Structure 1
Amino acid sequence: MTLLRSALFQLLFYAFTILYMLVCLPILPFISRQVMWRAIVLPWVAVTGFLLRVIAGTKVEIIGREHIPAGPLLVASKHQSAWETLALLPLFSDATFILKRELTWLPLFGWYMRKGRVIPIDRGARAAALKSMTQRAREELAGNRQIIIFPEGTRRAPGAPPAYKFGVAHLYAAFGVPCLPVALNSGLYWPRNALVRRPGIIRVEILPPIPPGLPREVFLARLQTEIETASDRLLVKGRAELGMDRP
């Protein structure tokens, strides 16, 4: 039954997403990024959450919203699933992502991402990529935006050893804004590279922001410890609810 519901969710999710993007496409060149955010992106995220809850039986619990400060912000989130690439957006007033450049080349989806002024990064360019990412991030923060970055760079399976990259520490040191750690257990319910969408509760924990001014190495160690500790706690709870801890 879970596999059948998962397949139905996938079918409706992709069908709705493609149709929605096609319907909205004619107005895309004529609206501002902010209008696109409010009138197109947020409704799409809401419908996706509704489909996930009603069809797959996957609910969401978010704690720690009171920790989100106003103004420009660096958001460092655990990355286990495609789920957080859309579900984190409504938590912030004007968020954007740092993501691999190839995603902006996708038909339809990439056009909307470019309109939303995401920050693409060419992973093969190394130093040049870091310089370009820093400049673009500086521009977006100057516009009072929140930048969401996945410090490990790619999705990691639940419980996999952490692999934090130094890029997040570079941005933290470069801009002098708070960094908001985000822990989650989404990979239990929306696994990477898998069709199944498990019923249950995806949990997100927004941790207190790390103030600017720490040395890079100290910041990165603190960030990893806080995210991993909270994510491990959420994984234990999720696995117990799913019966994954049974012999």
Structure 2
Amino acid sequence: MTMLRSWLFVVWLYGWMALAAMIYLPLMVLPKVAAMRAIGLYTQIIRFGLKHICGVRTEIRGREHLPPEPFLYAGKHHCMLDVFIPFLLCREPAIVLKRELLFYPFLGWYALKTDMIPIDRAGTAKTLKAMVAAAKARAAKGRSVVIFPEGTRTAPGAPPAYQPAGISALNKALDLPIVPVATNAGLCWPAKGARRRPGLVVYEVLPPIPAGLDRKTLMPRLEGELEAASNRLLEEGRAAQAGRRP
């Protein structure tokens, strides 16, 4: 039954993506904020499908910790859902994403329209310089910049493998507070495969880390706070899946 519901959700996820992309196609000639709102609505459609098809509840906690925009959003990365949640927390997020996504139908159209920050996964010095320049331009317009410091999706509880170059360069160049966002999403939505397991997904906004910290101070603090909060949420999520209190 779980796999049947999971495949129904896949149809829901991509079916609505295609439908919404076509319905909102006229937004391509309007200011990008209109497309941002459309993506935010699609995010709520994803959450609705997770709850009513797969039995996955989603919660967003800690909104009170969000500083005035712009800020640097540093998220734990488990699955595709992580990329959509910033549209519920930021007015016009500018997400650092792999360039290949620009060539995806529908998703790529909106990534281009909303002026995201595509990067080459090779991670050369030229790539880093271009990312920083693009991020500065977006932040100058009042947009928060979203980056996943591990660089790729990781399994819940896997040893952390943070890539300090990107987040450190953005921290130095933007001089913005860093908002860590922890999650346990991978328990219900694994990085690979179609299975969606019933349970509780939580995204928790942590207190911001002040701007201007040097790399040696920033990275241990960011990793320590993100991992501690995400591990706590993993315990809560596993308890919810087992039908008991954490």
Q: Identify the TM-score tier after normalising by the shorter chain.
A: over 0.9
TM-score, normalisation: structure 1? 0.94
How far apart are 1:160 and its partner, in Å? Answer: 0.6
1:15 alignment counterpart: 15
Q: SS at the partner of 1:183?
A: strand
CA distance in 1, matches of 2:89, 2:104: 25
Give the drift of 1:125: 5.1
* Distance in structure 2 (CA, Å) of the matches to 1:244 and 1:81: 23
Say whether residues 1:63 and 2:61 are aligned partners.
yes
Ranges in structure 1 where 5+ consecutive residues have no aligned partner: none
Report the TM-score, using the length of structure 2 for normalisation. 0.95
What RMSD over aligned residues (CA atoms) do the two structures have, in Å?
A: 1.5
Runs of 4+ in 1 over 4 A off after TM superposition: none
Which residue of the other structure, out of 138, 142, 149, is the alignment partner of 2:147? 149
Correspondence for 2:215? 216
* Aligned residues of 2:62 and 2:206 also touching (Cα < 8 A): yes
**How big is the shift at 1:243?**
3.0
1:92-111 CA-partner distances (Å, limit 9, x unpaired): 11112001111112222211
Q: Whole-Å Cα distance in 2 between the matches of residues 219 and 228 of structure 1? A: 14
Structure 2, unpaired ranges of 5+: none
- Secondary structure of the 2:24 match is helix
Q: 1:168 matched to which residue of 2?
A: 167
Give distance in 2, aligned partners of 1:141 and 1:201: 33
Question: Could you tell me which residue of structure 2 aligns to residue 121 of structure 1?
Answer: 119
Letter in 2 for 1:85: V
Instruction: Specify which of 39, 42, 56 is matched with residue 40 of structure 2.
Output: 42
Corresponding residue number in structure 2 for 1:225: 224
Shift of 1:244: 10
Identity %: 42
Structure 2 equivalent of residue 103 of structure 1: 101
Distance 1:61 1:234 in 2: 11
Alpha-carbon contact 1:2-1:56 (below 8 Å) kept:
yes
TM-fit CA distance, 1:24: 2.2
Residue of structure 1 in register with 2:186 after alignment: 187
Cα distance in 2, alignment partners of residues 142 and 184 from structure 1: 28
1:25-46 deviations in Å (ceiling 9; x for gaps): 2x143111012212x2122111
Q: Which secondary structure state, in structure 1, belongs to the residue aligned with residue 101 of structure 2?
A: helix
Amino acid across the alignment from 2:90 = F
Tell me the matched-pair count: 243
